């Protein structure tokens, strides 16, 4: 019998999903959650539509660490960073020098915002938002500001742009791609989205690359590689995330784009698991909420003693751009096929089919989003 605790590193949606699933299956097992941040529970997706929905950083926090600890009957240690994993000793070393043993270790470490390599004296002042503390800083910085430049026209960039624009800010969005949501939408969908976002006042600078950011008084000057110049009161970077793999890599665990796991969410060390934004499960890095729920359920069952592989059904993602409702289920990049597009002024229905006509993904915009429930069951599972 192993009396060491299950240790979860990370108090994001992934860490808490595992803690909840463990408690559903077993009320006795000792669980310790360690978090580099405040350790409270909040829904991260709310950050990119909080202005329009009237939420503040304080109201986004659902429960603080103390409340979560008493609800879930687990020990939560906020502001406790893990520095090293000792695989052979089944223990971890904390930043404060303390050693902690585990029976099972769960890595729910999240991801770091990618920073563009830019020059200029104000590069360090560019903000990014990937957690509640970032968002608090962002909201503080927004006070008395009018014009915001967003680097990146991906999902997070478009959501923040829409939220800011409908809340009265002037918004610029800069991206090297030819249309917004370039990785999720076919061209027709991107153009439709761009038109809808432009209609709420968002100004796009596409096929453009920022090179230099400097401060001019209380404002920023952004200089493009192509020579164009814009000014803004605040610059927000939303150019993507990189899974936090350093801790696993330092411990000698296999890392590719994320911390590599099998279908059981196990790394090559069968007592060390990973899920959420830091993980690469069977070759897939899926930085969204739905995969976390499925992974947490399987992981908890395995830890309790019933080895359970994760199954991912189709998991469409809603893009929170109220100016242009969107739901997407991107095809697996290894599938060869093409988009079938049905576009009109009310929306775009794009279906990605392989050469045999089988459906592998979709992008539905505007009125076409209504078809999501009818189309989703026709998709293959993401992990059968
Ligand atoms: P995180 O929430 O990043 O948690 C990581 C945790 O690990 C943190 O508590 C951190 O402190 C801790 N940690 C890291 N390193 C250490 C260490 N060494 N020691 C101790 N603790 C450590 N997904 C959707 O499906 N739909 C949406 O609409 C959507 N909207 C989004 C909007 C925004 C603005 C953002 C940023 C993301 C959005 N996502 C959305 C993605 C989704 O929110 C994430 O996939 C999910 O929240 C990731 O949870 P996580 O627990 O893996 O990571």
CA-15 nearest atom, ligand 1: 51
Instruction: Please give the mean pLDDT across all residues of the chain.
Output: 97
- 313 pLDDT more than 60: yes
Domain map of the chain by residue range? Answer: 6-112+242-304, 115-237, 325-378
Distance CA 160, CA 171 (A): 9
**pLDDT at residue number 43:** 98
- 65 pLDDT more than 80: yes
- 48 pLDDT more than 60: yes
Which among 12, 64, 330 is the best mutation to test ligand 1's pocket, defined by most ligand atoms within 8 Å of the CB?
A: 12
Distance CA 187, CA 190 (A): 5
Query: pLDDT digit string (tens) for 77-120?
Result: 999 999 999 999 999 999 999 999 999 999 999 999 999 999 99
CATH superfamily of 115-237: FAD/NAD(P)-binding domain (3.50.50.60)
CA of 132 relative to ligand 1 center, distance in Å? 10
How far from 313 is each of 118, 120, 293, 303, 380, CA to CA, in Å?
40, 46, 12, 22, 8
**Per-residue confidence band for 339, with pLDDT thresholds at 50, 70 and 90:** very high
Query: pLDDT digit string (tens) for 160-210?
Result: 999 999 999 999 999 999 999 999 999 999 999 999 999 999 999 999 999
CA of 45 relative to ligand 1 center, distance in Å? 9
Give the residues surrounding ligand 1 with Cβ less than 6 Å away: 9-15, 34-37, 44-45, 47-48, 81-82, 108-110, 129-131, 156, 244, 247, 276-277, 287-290, 317, 320
Query: pLDDT digit string (tens) for 215-260?
Result: 999 999 999 998 999 999 999 999 999 999 999 999 999 999 999 9
Distance CA 142, CA 129 (A): 13
Q: Residue 46: what are its φ and ψ, rounded to 5°?
A: -65, -20
How far from 6 is each of 19, 25, 108, 129, 306, CA to CA, in Å?
9, 14, 13, 30, 15
Q: Under CATH, which number does the domain 6-112+242-304 receive?
A: 3.50.50.60
| Mean pLDDT along residues 312-323 | 98
| Mean pLDDT along residues 320-346 | 97
**CATH topology of 6-112+242-304 equal to that of 325-378?**
no
Share of the chain above pLDDT 70, in %: 99
**pLDDT at residue number 59:** 98
Determine the straight-line distance between the first and last CA of the chain, rounded to whole angstroms. 34
Which among 14, 48, 110 is the best mutation to test ligand 1's pocket, defined by most ligand atoms within 8 Å of the CB?
A: 110
Q: Residue 377: what are its φ and ψ, rounded to 5°?
A: -60, -15
**pLDDT at residue number 3:** 79
CA of 9 relative to ligand 1 center, distance in Å? 12
**pLDDT at residue number 47:** 98
Q: Which CATH architecture has domain 325-378?
A: 2-Layer Sandwich (3.30)
Q: pTM for the full model?
A: 0.98
Which among 10, 79, 85 is the best mutation to test ligand 1's pocket, defined by most ligand atoms within 8 Å of the CB?
A: 10
């Amino acid at each position: 019998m192993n009396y060491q605790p299950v240790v979860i590193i990370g108090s994001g949606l992934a860490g808490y999903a595992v803690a909840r699933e463990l408690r559903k299956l077993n009320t006795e097992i000792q669980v310790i959650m360690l978090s580099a941040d405040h350790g409270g529970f909040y829904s991260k997706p709310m950050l990119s539509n909080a202005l329009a929905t009237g939420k503040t950083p304080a109201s986004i926090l659902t429960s603080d660490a103390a409340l979560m600890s008493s609800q879930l009957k687990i020990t939560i240690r906020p502001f406790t960073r893990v520095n090293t994993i000792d695989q052979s000793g089944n223990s971890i070393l904390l930043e404060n020098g303390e050693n902690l043993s585990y029976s099972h270790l769960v890595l729910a470490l999240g991801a770091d915002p990618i920073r563009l390599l830019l020059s200029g004296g104000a590069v360090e002042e560019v903000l990014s938002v990937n957690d509640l503390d970032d968002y608090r800083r962002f909201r503080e910085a927004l006070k008395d500001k009018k014009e915001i430049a967003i680097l990146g026209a991906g999902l997070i960039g478009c959501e923040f742009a829409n939220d800011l624009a409908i809340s009265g800010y002037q918004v610029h969005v800069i991206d090297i791609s030819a249309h917004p949501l370039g990785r999720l939408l076919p061209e027709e969908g991107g153009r439709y989205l761009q038109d809808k976002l432009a209609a709420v006042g968002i100004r796009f600078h596409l096929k453009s690359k920022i090179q230099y950011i400097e401060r001019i008084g209380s404002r920023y000057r952004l200089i493009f590689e192509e020579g164009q110049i814009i000014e803004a009161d605040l610059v927000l970077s939303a150019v993507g995330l990189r899974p936090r793999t350093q801790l696993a890599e330092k411990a000698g665990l296999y890392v590719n784009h994320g911390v590599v796991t099998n279908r059981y969410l196990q790394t090559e060390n069968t007592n060390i698991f990973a899920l959420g934004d830091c993980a690469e499960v069977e070759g897939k890095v899926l930085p969204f909420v739905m995969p976390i729920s499925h992974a947490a359920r399987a992981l908890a069952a395995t830890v309790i003693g019933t080895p359970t592989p994760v199954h991912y059904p189709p998991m469409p993602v809603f893009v929170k751009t109220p100016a242009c409702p969107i739901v997407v289920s991107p095809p697996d990049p290894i599938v060869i096929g093409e988009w079938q597009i049905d576009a009109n002024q009310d929306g775009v229905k794009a279906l990605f089919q392989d050469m045999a006509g089988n459906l592998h993904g979709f992008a539905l915009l505007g009125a076409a989003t209504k078809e999501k429930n009818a189309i989703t069951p026709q998709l293959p599972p993401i992990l059968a």
